[in-house]
Amino acid sequence: MKKIQLFGIAILFTALLQAQSNQTQQAVQQTVTKLFDALSNRDSVSLKQYCADDISLYEYGMAWNLDTLINRAITLNTATDFKRIDTLDFINTTIDKNVAWTTYNLSSEITKDGKQTSVKWLETVIVVNERNKWKVKVLHSSLIKRN
């Protein structure tokens, strides 16, 4: 009888751990999604909420910081018809205590100055848990296709 009870407790404990792991993965992925929402909305205040203060971004063979990202994606982006729709397809998300990393395909449909562009990237993000909030610390982007 005790063996059955212990087995039942073990199954329950395993299920609880799996549920917590899924919630954490979703929280990490949600942080990345919200970062792109902020970029789409040209909202630097929201963008900062999802980035570590010392974020590093590696785009087009260059190293950027948060100021560079805000300048290029928001400040200099003055097109009145700007619209960006992002689709993220998460490939893998791994969590180790207060650090997580996730890899995804990013597809963006961007309208700017009357022109529509489709861009596809493969990206990996390292996320850290700061005061119970996941924040992007490193983003590495590889351009796959632009047309």
pLDDT in tens, 6-21: 554 544 444 434 444 6
Give the number of other Cβ atoms within 10 Å of residue 57's Cβ: 20
Q: Quick one: tokens of 73? A: 């994606």
E strands present in 73-114:
83-96, 99-112
In whole angstroms, what is the distance from residue 35 CA to residue 31 CA?
6
Q: What is the pTM of this model?
A: 0.84
In whole angstroms, what is the distance from residue 37 CA to residue 58 CA?
19
Q: What is the pLDDT of residue 60?
A: 85
Residue type, 73: A
CATH 3.10.450.50: does it fit domain 2-146? yes
Interval 26-43: pLDDT, tens = 999 999 999 999 999 999
Question: How would you classify the pairing of strands 62-64 and 83-96?
Answer: unpaired
